[in-house]
Structure 1
Amino acid sequence: MNPQELNSLHLLRRLIRQPHEHKGHAGKVLIIGGDTGMAGSILLSGRAALHAGAGWVMIGFLDERAISVLADQPELMLSHASREMMAQAQADVLAIGPGLGQSQQARDLLSDALQSSALLVIDADGLNLIAGDAKLMKQLKSRPTLSTVITPHPGEAAKLLNTTAEQVQINRPLAIDQLLALTGSIVVLKGQHTLIKSPQLNEPTQMCLKGHPGMGVAGMGDVLTGVIAAIMSQGIKHHINPFEASCVAVELHAAAADSLLNQGIGPIGLTPTEVIKEIRNLINIK
């Protein structure tokens, strides 16, 4: 079956806040990552989650020194990542991977995340760790249906499938089917015409036709991770399931980049930070 053109932004109407609602109705997001030299990745994810509407956004840095350096966003709750911190946070949605690194600590945190009851988004080094560890892969596949989203780019997809990025790109619909069978997760295969697929058999593969080459810059995937987490967290009370949240986030992310291009911003030099602010603008268009 050929992929279906993604058309999900109408679901944003479900996120409209009623007068009685408080931050609990928008959910609690915890993002784990930011090892030495990679703290910017997780900060972008956190800012994206905040601007996309999550009620709380907490960031657990592996690099303790990053907390003082990056504490210029007072709305973000910053902490050193630990197993105890993850357990105490009681997050509705846990995103792990941006700047995570591949240390033993990162592996232990990922294992705990895979065993948690929170909805889960896995990106970047989270996927690289799973690709090289049969135990982590087993934990991933054991999670409940529709509780987990993975967001590989072609290189990360290739590691998971034990092939090359070139082979992934030759037949992306086949690659996403293989990733689905391997992981049992909702899969967002990033790249030109990002594909999204659900483990539910009646859901066709979705293809995002929005976006442009200006999005090919470091940090853009970290923004997407934060937006997926934010829409998932709001979806708990606003009746958007994790597959629908993934579809909305992918299309919103690409539509924001297109909107900026129409305003004369980019494609060359377009930044993830600019996209974050435009995502908020689009969410609030009635």
Structure 2
Amino acid sequence: MRTHFIQKFKENDKRIISYYIGGNLSSNQCLLFLNGLYTGHTAWIKQQRYPYFRDNYKLLFIDYHGVGDSVEKREEEFKFDDIVDDIKTILDEEVSDKLYVIGYSVGGMLALWLSYKFQDSVNGLILLNSGSKTSIYANKMIRGLLTLIEDGANLKSIFMLIYPWFHSQEYLENMDMDNFVLQKYAEYNGNSKSFRLLIKAIVNRPDLSVILDNILIPTFVLSSEHDIIFPLPYQQEIQAKIKNCKHELLLNSSHASYIENHGEVNRFIERALKDMTNR
């Protein structure tokens, strides 16, 4: 089954932001999917095809600053806050009523800040393999990534080193499309200068742990048993600090649960949405 999306652009004096809408365009309920650091809307293919999401909600996906088809006009530094503010301008145009934000990995960090800063605009928050901070492994990996980009390393070679960190051994053993996937990663992040600016903005993000107590909207958090990027204690912190929060642990899963365990993840998201809409 093919999933059709309309690509749109939002422009200001600093950048052009590319985004995609699909699903049920006549719905007054919108699901905003905020992806991880290295891929865009195509990474959510299993969620895009899931009938409950596709038939009941408008689906919205955004290329972050300087990646995918988004373009930085000046290639100057920007802040984590700027990413969230630009997301909000798109939401103001595309969301007519209810908004539920689904954030994966780094996208979950953006979702936390968005839900804190514009709480009146968000009706519910779902976090997948995310947290208010990353593990020491992830911190070292990201800083190493910055160094490699600054030294002019080939992006495909960089992703060859990074890619295995996200997946389980079983998934990697059965993956016969490494070159295809890695090439897509490199193409999506093709402008190394802009990609570096995006990474720096994420590294220099605000301390998200101090805002958790102020997030009052319904929140659902999914952890993976073998996630070394955002280990289980990081989601438990969110559950402890956000008052209206529920948490589930996915056994035998890695950081990329929404790909490897998409059936279980999709059902988790569906349960969360039904819980929030029935309140």
TM-score normalized with structure 1 length: 0.30
Which structure is richer in relative contact order (CA contacts within 8 A, separation 6 or more)?
1
Larger strand proportion of the pair: 2
TM-score normalized with structure 2 length: 0.31
